[in-house]
Amino acid sequence: MNTERTLASLTFASDETEFFTPMPAGYTPGKTRYVVVFGTVMSGLGKGIFSSSLAKILQDKGLAVAPIKLEGYLNHDSGTLNPYRHGEVFVLDDGMECDMDLGTYERMLNQDLGRLNFSTSGQILSSVLEKERLGRYLGRDVQMIPHVTGEVKLRLRELAVAAQADVVFVEIGGTVGDVENAYFIEAVREMSYEEGPSNFCFVALTYIVEPDILGEQKSKPAQLNLKLLNAAGIHPHIIACRASATVSKKVREKIALFANVPMSRVFSMHDCDSVYVIPEMLRGAGIDAAVIELLGLADQVDVQAEERARKTWSDYINRFRSAAHPITIGIIGKYTSVRDSYASIIHALEHAGAATNAKVQLRWVDSSDLSEENVAERLKNLHGVIVPGGFGYRGVDGKLACIKYVRENGLPYLGLCYGMQIAVIEFARNVCGLAHAGSTEIEPDCPQPVIDLLPEQKKLEGLGGNMRLGGRDVRLTLGSAMARLCGSETIRMRFRHRYEVDPQYIRILEEHGLVFSGRSPDHPIMQVLELPADRHPFFMATQAHPELTSRPLHPQPMFVGLAQAALNYSGVRGDIPAPSTAASEGTRASSVVRTGGAPH
C-alpha cells in the first residue's frame, strides 16, 4: 500500500474508519527507523544498557539517534519513587524526573535529553483524558485501541520530528508479561504495520538461568517468555541473552531455533568489567551490521566517522582499565544497600578515575550507623568521602559526625545536594558557634535555620511545585578552586531540591572562612561552597547533582578534583588535569528540541 498517503488520511477515528494514527506536524512516514527493545523473564537485566550501547554504535556511524523510555507505571514521573524501588531518580536538564536508564543514554550518547525522551502510562493516560474532555475524539467512545495506542505512536513520532532522528530507540520498561506493558507492545506492533516492516527492528533481551544445583545454563524460561512476545504479534529480529558468564553456543542454538532468529543475531550479553565495553562487544558480534541491513541504512554510514569514534572510545576504555593508582572513596548515605540509588555517582567516579589514572574503589557506609564515637574507625583507610543527596532526618547525625571528622582531619570531601546542606549546618555549629543551627526540613521550628526554604519557594508550597528542578547556570568566583577546576566563569549544573542556605546567615559563615564559590546569577542562592587551600586540601560541596552530567569522555570537574585530591592524600602526587580534559557541562549535543523550562 502507499503508506504515506494512507497514513496522511487516517489521522483520526470516526464512524467511517477504525484507523487512528495521529501525526505531528513535519513527520514523514518511512523517513525514521525504529529499534524497539523488549524485556523478558525479569526486569533489571540491562535493557537500557543494551539499547544505549546499540544506539551509540549507530551514532558512531554518523546516524542521528534519539532514545525514549516507556514506563508502565501510572506515576506522572519518577520523582516520588523510593530508590529501593527503581534506583536513583535521574533529572534531565529541562527538569523531568525520570528513570535511571535515561542517565545511561546520556552518558553513552553524550547527549542532553529532555522530557520527550521519557514517557509513563500516567502521562499517556492523562493526555488521552484531557483530549477526550476537549472533544478531540469526535464523540467516539475512547478505548485502549485505537486511542491510547495512538497516543503512544504520536509520542514516538513527535520525538522523531523534534530530534530529526535517523533512528529512534524505544525501550519498553519491565517485561513482556506485565499487564501494564500490553498497550505499549500493541502500539509498536501497529506502528510497524503502518510504517512498513523494513522500518522496524525488534530486539528481545532475555535471561539465561544457571541454577547452582544444576551447574549448567538453561534456556526454558527464555523460550517461554519469547513465546509471549510472539503471541503479542512481535517477532524479534535480534535476541540478547543476559547471563553472568558467556552464553554457550548450545543455548544460543536452542534460542535461535525456538524463536526463528538466525544464530548470528542471538547475542551473549554477559557480565563485564564496565558497561562501556558493551558497544564494542555488540560490534564484534555483528549486531550493528545486522541492524543496518535490517533497516536499510547502509548508504548513510560514515566509515571514517566510525573509525574516529571507535578510537576515542577505545582510548577511554584503555585509560579506565590501566589506571595504576588505587584510591578508596567512601559513600556515606542511607540507601547504601541498593547500589542503583547512587548509579550516577559510581559512573562519575569511574570517569574521574580514568582521567586521573586512579583506580577508584568504593566503600559503602550507612550514615545511620555513624557517630562521633566510631567515625574515625569507620572512615579509616579512606582517601576521600562523598556525602550524596537525600531527604529527611534519618542518618543526619551520622553525616554531621562524618563531615566534622573530614573537615578537621584534612580528608578530601565532596558534598552533593544534601551533602552541602549538612556541611553548612556542621560548619555553623562547630566553627561559627551557632549551637542550634539546623534545617527546617529536619526541625520545622529550628531556632537558627541556616538551611530553609527561600521566600519565593514558600509561596509555591501550597501549589505542590516547590522543588527546584533541572539545569541552571552557576556563576563561579574567580580564583576559587571551583573556577580553576572548571576553567570558566560559569558552569551548568542540574538541581533537585527544596531547601537552600538562608541568605541571612551567609555573612557569618563567610566571616568564619567558608567560601561560596558558586552562586545563582539571578537569585541569592548559594550553589557551591569550599574551604580555602590553607584550611583544607579539598573540601567542596554543591547544592547541585554534578554526577548527573558526568560523561566518560567529559568527566565532571568536581569529581576529577576529588579523585586528584584523594591521590594526593594517598601519597601519589600529581596535577589536576586541565579543564579541557575535565570538560564542563553545556557543550554536548542534544537529541531533542527543548519543550519548556523547569519550574522555579
User: Looking at the chain, how many residues does it have?
Assistant: 600
Confidence of residue 466 (pLDDT cuts 50, 70, 90): low
Distance between CA atoms of residues 425 and 447, nearest Å: 13
Residues of the chain with CATH 3.40.50.300: 23-315
Q: Tell me the three state secondary structure of residue 10.
A: coil
Least confident of 112-116, 269-273, 304-308, 582-586: 582-586
The predicted pLDDT at position 574 comes to 53
Q: Which helix (H) or strand (E) holds 468?
A: strand 468-476
Q: Which helix (H) or strand (E) holds 219?
A: none
C-beta separation of 150 from 128 below 8 A: no
Phi, psi (5° rounding) for residue 498?
Answer: -115, -35
User: With 0-12 CB in 10 A as exposed, 13-18 as middle and 19+ as buried, what is 547?
Assistant: buried
**Res 6 pLDDT > 50:** no
Instruction: Note if the bond before 146 is cis, omega within 30 degrees.
Output: yes
Distance between CA atoms of residues 236 and 36, nearest Å: 9
Residue type, position 561, single letter = G
Task: Using a pLDDT cut of 70, give the percent of the chain over it.
Answer: 89
Average pLDDT of 335-342? Answer: 74
Confidence of residue 455 (pLDDT cuts 50, 70, 90): low
Average pLDDT of 186-212? Answer: 93
Q: Tell me the three state secondary structure of residue 579.
A: coil
DSSP one-letter code for 593:
-
Residue type, position 245, single letter = A
The predicted pLDDT at position 283 comes to 94
C-beta separation of 559 from 542 below 8 A: no
Q: Which of 477, 470, 561, 456 is nearest to 519 (CA)?
A: 477
**Region of residue 197 (left: phi > 0; alpha: psi -120 to 50; beta: else):** alpha
The predicted pLDDT at position 474 comes to 96
Its CATH architecture, for the domain 23-315, is 3-Layer(aba) Sandwich (3.40)
Residue 360 bridge partners (DSSP): 327
The CA-based angle 581-585-589, given to 5 degrees, is 100
Distance between CA atoms of residues 276 and 551, nearest Å: 11
Confidence of residue 459 (pLDDT cuts 50, 70, 90): low
Assigned C-alpha cell, 178: 506485565
The predicted pLDDT at position 315 comes to 96
Average pLDDT of 150-168? Answer: 97
Average pLDDT of 245-260? Answer: 92
Distance between CA atoms of residues 39 and 45, nearest Å: 8
Distance between CA atoms of residues 427 and 387, nearest Å: 15
Q: Tell me the three state secondary structure of residue 326.
A: strand
Distance between CA atoms of residues 97 and 94, nearest Å: 9
Confidence of residue 365 (pLDDT cuts 50, 70, 90): very high
**Res 336 pLDDT > 70:** no
The predicted pLDDT at position 454 comes to 67
Distance between CA atoms of residues 455 and 451, nearest Å: 12
The predicted pLDDT at position 9 comes to 39
Q: Which of 186, 202, 197, 190 is nearest to 36 (CA)?
A: 202
Average pLDDT of 496-507? Answer: 92
Average pLDDT of 428-457? Answer: 89
Residue bearing cell 556511524: 61
Average pLDDT of 467-485? Answer: 93
Q: Tell me the three state secondary structure of residue 210.
A: coil
**Res 585 pLDDT > 70:** no
Least confident of 85-89, 104-108, 587-591: 587-591
**Res 521 pLDDT > 80:** yes
Assigned C-alpha cell, 471: 539545569
Distance between CA atoms of residues 48 and 57, nearest Å: 14
The predicted pLDDT at position 177 comes to 85
Per DSSP, the residues of 42-108 read SS-S-HHHHHHHHHHHHHHTT--EEEEEEE-SSSSSSTT--HHHHSPPEE-TTS-EE-THHHHHHHH
DSSP H helical ranges for 468-549: 481-486, 506-511
The predicted pLDDT at position 44 comes to 79
**Res 216 pLDDT > 50:** yes
Q: Which of 495, 290, 265, 531 is nearest to 411 (CA)?
A: 531
The predicted pLDDT at position 126 comes to 96
Distance between CA atoms of residues 393 and 399, nearest Å: 10
Q: Which residues contact 425 (CB under 8 A, 6 or more apart)?
A: 400, 437, 438, 439, 450, 451
Distance between CA atoms of residues 415 and 89, nearest Å: 18
Q: Which of 410, 397, 403 is nearest to 367 (CA)?
A: 397
Average pLDDT of 525-545? Answer: 96
C-beta separation of 476 from 528 below 8 A: yes
Its CATH architecture, for the domain 324-587, is 3-Layer(aba) Sandwich (3.40)
Task: Using a pLDDT cut of 90, give the percent of the chain over it.
Answer: 72
Distance between CA atoms of residues 461 and 264, nearest Å: 57
User: With 0-12 CB in 10 A as exposed, 13-18 as middle and 19+ as buried, what is 13?
Assistant: buried
Averaged pLDDT of the chain: 89
**Would you name the residues annotated as active-site residues?**
417, 545, 547
Q: Which of 321, 419, 359, 351 is nearest to 585 (CA)?
A: 351
Residues of the chain with CATH 3.40.50.880: 324-587
Residues 547-577 pLDDT 10s:
999 999 999 999 999 999 999 999 876 555 5
Per DSSP, the residues of 410-455 read T--EEEETHHHHHHHHHHHHHTS--TTEEETTT-TT-SEEEEE--H
Confidence of residue 596 (pLDDT cuts 50, 70, 90): very low
The predicted pLDDT at position 19 comes to 73
The answer to whether the Cα torsion of 272, 274, 280, 282 is positive or negative is positive
